[in-house]
Structure 1
Amino acid sequence: MAEREIWPALQHELAAGRAGALLVVSEHRGSSPGRQGMLMAVSRHGPLAGTIGGGQAETTLVAAAQAALQAENLQPWRQTLIHHTTDSNASGMICGGQQTVVVGFWQPGQALPATGEPWSIIGDGWAYHHTPPRKFTACLIGGGHVSLALSRLLDRLDFRVQVFEERPGIATFVANTAAHEKHHTPYGSLADQVPEGDRVFVAIMTHSHERDAVALRALVGRPFGYLGLLGSRHKLKSLLAGEAQPDFLRAPMGLPIGSHTAEEIAVSIAAEMVAVRHAVAGNGG
């Protein structure tokens, strides 16, 4: 769940004169459903936005946060839940991992942090400091139907989405409200506009073989965490015509799930991007 949905949910409570709770997974081990950095906003009436992994562990902590809000007992606390039936801190789940959750509170009149800014929860003799991770950026080259479907998925998956289209008046490009940035630019000039680095994922999906070639040649020599192309490896070889192919270049991009529709293709690409994102983040990128 993106922070940009958590803070507005809490702000709505504060603006109405009600305190709100923020639950954050501060650490996890093993097969815990809650992963470090997961966030959830809770009101006195129940969940507002986000998740800390679901299941009985989440239900228990949400109920505890609700009770604290209703009793106006707003002292932060933290709790470690063991997902094993034999432990004294058993969460009611049996996945074998564990997670520590910090519960903090904001009251009316308190300023909430801006999305992407660091923030802290200060307890009795302890403190939790949260620094949001540097986001991954997905640059989609082409503004057609697959681009629109993929933008919507990647936005929900907490990528920063940029879409590049060179044709004027494309309805799917105009209708794409999931993209954080939209650029109307010739594909031959992409090298000047697309960022680079291991947290930049590029997906080429233009309207024609010829324009794919223009976009690919503009970008293929630059470092990315992911560079993908719709179409076969045979198509890739014909586009590059003997040029060297970087290891991170994928064609066809996406996992092989037998996809046909724009939405299915978007799912296959998004799944592959998520897998690569975890690999990059796990390597310290």
Structure 2
Amino acid sequence: MNTWRRLVDFVSVHGTAALVSVHEVKGSAPRETDAHMVVRPDGGFSGTIGGGHLEMKMLAVAQEMLGEGRGPARVLDQALGPDLGQCCGGRVKILVETFDRRDMADLEALAQAETAGGLFTTECRFDEAGRVRREVSSAVGDDSWTRWRETHGEERTPVLLFGAGHVGRALVLALAPLPFAVRWLDPRQDAFPAHIPAHAVPVLLKDPQAEIAAAPANAFILVMTHDHPLDMAITAAALSRGFPYVGLIGSATKRARFEKRFRELGLGEERLHDLVCPIGLPGITGKDPAVIAASVTAQLLQARERVAGTVVSGTSPVIPGRAEREPGTHNH
């Protein structure tokens, strides 16, 4: 969720809004530190701090504070079991703030940092009036309650999606609310729909090799064009780069034919093993574009978490859908 942009929008329309943040977590809790929820005066909200009684109580607190007008922030220390009857068993500190049009300049600055993409850090402190002051900074502050750091924004995994057919369109929509940035490529100018989600950038494909060469090393590659020779050329180039995920739409038969040609091109067995084809989670065999998109989206989320785990542990990720999976029926 674009927290600061949503705050700007709510304050612009309603004159005021509240920000509910998970400031500190001890033990098991439904959301992590720096999870946010933005609340309107009428009780409408965007985002979540984990649902359940905790969220209901914080919504009520936020509305109460909005009714009182812009004022100092509140910190609520909640034991999830004893205080709220939730079974998580942990303890959280929740920070609740209110904003109005006097804060628009500060909110806009944070929204711009958020729009720039990726993660950013704010140095935070309470001022004399008990309100939180934030400055975008990469400096390391101390960990005291009177001065602390928050992490905002979202690290989006780059995806190169080759093909704007039915499945490509469904996949772009499925990925829209998730942490992916899609470069959507097709050689047909009229292939793209009139309305495209903000996370996707349509690109008229002219040089597939150049696109693969310019892609960041952590990109996920998905190949589903209207043309089998084009699919083969893109997939071969992607496999040679060693991306963490290379998916090709098609059946086990298509995979076997492509692998034969890839071996002739000199690609080794390790690279061939990295190919995800058929795409999507094993056991989901529906051929409707929306079903395929949902299955592939779940697989990409799994791959994203495995890659993140690899950075920490140094182990090699295993992506369901590579050569060891059972043949699926997502034909192309």
Q: TM-score when scaled to structure 1?
A: 0.83
Q: 2:46 — aligned with what?
A: 49
Secondary structure of the 1:197 match is coil
Choose 106-115 or 159-168, whichever is displaced more: 106-115
Structure 1 residues 280 and 27: CA distance shift in structure 2, 3 A: farther
Find the aligned partners of 1:239 and 1:31 in 2 and give their Cα distance.
47
Aligned residues: 274
Whether 2:125 is the aligned partner of 1:122: answer: yes
- Runs of 4+ with deviation above 6 angstroms: none
Flag the 1:184–1:249 CA change in 2: closer, same or farther, 3 A: same
Q: Note the aligned Cα RMSD (angstroms).
A: 2.6
- Once residues 251 and 301 of structure 2 are traced to their aligned partners in structure 1, the CA distance between those partners, rounded to angstroms, is 21
Structure with greater contact order relative to length (CA < 8 Å, sep ≥ 6): 1
Match in the other structure for 1:273:
300
Distance 2:213 2:148 in 1: 43
Residue of structure 1 equivalent to 2:133? none
Long gaps (5+) in structure 2: 131-145, 313-332
The CA deviation at 1:169 is: 1.6
- Distance change >3 Å, CA 78–CA 225, structure 1 → 2: farther
Tell me how far apart the structure 1 counterparts of residues 149 and 63 of structure 2 sit (CA, whole Å).
Answer: 21
Deviations 1:94-129 (A, max 9, x none): 244554433333331322112245445534624342
Q: Which amino acid aligns with 1:132?
A: G
Is 128-137 or 262-271 further displaced after alignment? 128-137
Partner SS for 1:46: coil
Q: Distance in 2 between matches of 1:259 and 1:205?
A: 17
Q: From the CA coordinates, give the structure whose radius of gyration is larger.
A: 2
Q: 1:210 to 1:99 in 2, by over 3 A?
A: farther
Deviations 1:11-39 (CA, angstroms, capped at 9, x unpaired): 13333573322223345566533234432
Matches within 5 A, 1:130-149: 130-149=151-170
CA distance in 2, matches of 1:71, 1:214: 63
Q: Which has the higher helix share?
A: 2
Alpha carbons 1:196, 1:223 under 8 Å: kept: no
Match of 1:9 among 6, 11, 23: 6
The AA in structure 2 aligned to 1:143 is A
Unpaired runs of 5+ residues, structure 1, are none
Q: TM-score, normalised by structure 2?
A: 0.73
